[in-house]
């Protein structure tokens, strides 16, 4: 497999040099020159307008996926209660399916969970694939993977979405490996490419410094996980659908694991996901003492206090109150960012907020680019004033 240059056609435009991900093209006497460590990936061939780069590598054929239909969502439930991320994914699935002219299906696994189908229809499922078995009562990796594999092989979906929960993060990679496809984890945006009709899966990459869009041309289903709180649940009024019962055959021997006991870690419940107002602290608060005025403001609003990773690293807030790429994703009515610069990793968790108010003493702070209202000033003066004003307006 080789790549070579027809030097008389090359005009030295350097497009191939920029396109080569391996730095394996250089300019020599005004003409492109392929270096020894070229991998024959073909990136340079595609960008050469002069057709001066030739290769004997056959382009990879895109398989025919006409029989792959439907946007599937894993309807994650525990003890008969659906995880809210399933509702959110059904909301996104409705939009994706509409763009493709295909149907939305929820995949519900468990024991005596058929009653949940109605809720899944309410949130936009056209079909519910229902797999019920005593062995599916509690989530167990091998049992759920086997059932998913069978469903995918038989019903051949186009797209499969799962929540990036503890369960989804365990199940997704297993299923993708079983059916021989890729998986894009922790997507923050999903869309259909209007030309190719494939799923564009956007997620932070390189430590969150860039947003990468990943697409899969060569295998199906296209699989992605999405963290809770990222997508919006959309109720579909009066929606009715079909329940497709899937016969499961499982033995305890093949599953190999048993759930002996379930216990919940005892910790103070933090309801960032349901808070209507969040007052968020950034490094600008300066000290732990500086956090106090933010708690007063949150109290005046009846809201919650959250923070950036810096605040958690300082130990001024527990980790479950961190907002961002490696923390919580929130969508309150009002998000008040106090002394927060607005790094991309923080924005990843709060951009779904209805209104963003930023308080920062640096008028050039990036947070102002995404804020609906901005107050340039010292938070130690602004926050107490704001608290006073809110408390007074309540008394009136």
Ligand X SMILES: Cc1cc2nc3c(=O)[nH]c(=O)nc-3n(C[C@H](O)[C@H](O)[C@H](O)COP(=O)(O)OP(=O)(O)OC[C@H]3O[C@@H](n4cnc5c(N)ncnc54)[C@H](O)[C@@H]3O)c2cc1C
CB of 311 to ligand X, least distance (A): 6
Q: Which stretch binds ligand X (CB under 6 A): 243-251, 260-268, 271-279, 307-315?
A: 307-315
Of 15 and 309, which has the nearer Cβ to ligand X? 309
> For residue 388, what are its two tokens?
């006073």
228 forms part of the interface with ligand X (CB under 6 A): no
CB of 204 to ligand X, least distance (A): 8
Rounded to an integer, what distance in angstroms lies between the CA atom of residue 116 and that of residue 41?
A: 48
CB-based contact 308:367 (threshold 8 Å): no
Closest approach of Cβ 379 to ligand X, in Å?
4
CB of 239 to ligand X, least distance (A): 35
d(CA 32, CA 15): 10
Question: Is residue 183 a contact point for ligand X (CB under 6 A)?
Answer: no
Helices (H), 107-264: 116-122, 141-155, 166-179, 252-255
Between helix 166-179 and helix 141-155 the angle, nearest 10°, is: 50
Question: Does 353 help bind ligand X (rule: CB under 6 A)?
Answer: no
Residue 221, classified by CB atoms within 10 Å of its CB into exposed (0-12), middle (13-18) or buried (19+), is buried
Q: Under rule CB under 6 A, which residues in 208-227 are in contact with ligand X?
A: 208
Identify which of residues 248 and 323 has a Cβ nearer to ligand X in the complex: 323
Window 374 to 393, contacts with ligand X (CB under 6 A): 378-380
Q: 305 near 295, Cβ under 8 Å? A: yes
**Residues 6 and 44: beta-carbon distance below 8 Å:** no
Among 70, 157, 284, 374, binds ligand X (CB under 6 A): 284
Q: How far is the CB of 92 from ligand X (least distance, A)?
A: 22
Does residue number 282 form part of the binding site for ligand X (CB under 6 A)?
yes
At 203, is the secondary structure helix, strand, or coil? strand
Give the number of other CB atoms < 10 A from CB of residue 322: 23
Contact residues: ligand X, CB under 6 A: 207-208, 282-284, 308-310, 322-327, 339-341, 343, 345-346, 349, 359-362, 365, 378-380
């Amino acid at each position: 497999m080789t790549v070579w240059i027809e030097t008389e056609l090359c005009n030295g435009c350097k497009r191939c040099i920029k396109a080569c991900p391996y730095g394996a093209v250089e300019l020599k006497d005004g003409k492109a020159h392929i270096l020894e460590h070229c991998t024959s990936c073909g990136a340079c061939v595609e960008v050469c307008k002069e057709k001066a780069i030739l290769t004997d590598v056959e382009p990879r054929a895109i398989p025919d996926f006409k029989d792959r239909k439907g946007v599937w969502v894993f309807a994650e439930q525990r003890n008969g209660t659906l995880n809210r991320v399933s509702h959110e994914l059904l909301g996104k699935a409705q939009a994706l399916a509409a763009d493709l002219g295909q149907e939305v299906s929820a995949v519900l696994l468990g024991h005596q969970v058929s009653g949940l189908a109605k809720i899944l229809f309410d949130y936009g499922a056209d079909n519910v694939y229902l797999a019920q078995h005593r062995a599916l009562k509690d989530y167990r990796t091998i049992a759920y993977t086997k059932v998913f594999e069978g469903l995918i092989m038989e019903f051949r979906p186009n797209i499969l979405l799962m929540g990036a929960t503890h369960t989804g993060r365990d199940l997704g990679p297993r299923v993708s490996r079983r059916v021989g496809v890729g998986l894009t984890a922790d997507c923050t945006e999903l869309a259909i490419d209007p030309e190719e009709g494939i799923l564009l899966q956007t997620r932070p990459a390189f430590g969150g410094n860039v947003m990468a869009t990943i697409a899969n041309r060569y295998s199906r289903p296209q699989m992605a996980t999405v963290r809770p709180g990222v997508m919006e649940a959309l109720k579909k009024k009066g929606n009715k659908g079909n329940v497709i019962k899937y016969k499961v055959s499982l033995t305890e021997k093949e599953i190999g694991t048993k759930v002996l006991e379930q216990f919940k870690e005892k910790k103070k419940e933090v309801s960032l996901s349901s808070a209507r107002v969040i007052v968020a602290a950034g490094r600008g608060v300066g000290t732990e003492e500086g956090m106090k005025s933010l708690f007063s403001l949150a109290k005046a609003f009846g809201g919650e206090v959250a923070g950036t990773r810096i605040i958690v690293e300082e130990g001024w807030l527990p980790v479950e109150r961190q907002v961002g790429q490696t923390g919580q994703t929130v969508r309150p009515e009002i998000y008040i960012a106090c002394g927060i610069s607005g790094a991309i990793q923080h924005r990843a968790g709060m951009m779904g907020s209805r209104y963003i108010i930023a308080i920062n003493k640096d008028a050039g702070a990036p947070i102002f680019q995404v804020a609906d209202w901005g107050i340039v000033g010292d938070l130690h003066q602004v926050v107490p004033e704001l608290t006073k004003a809110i408390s007074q307006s309540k008394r009136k």
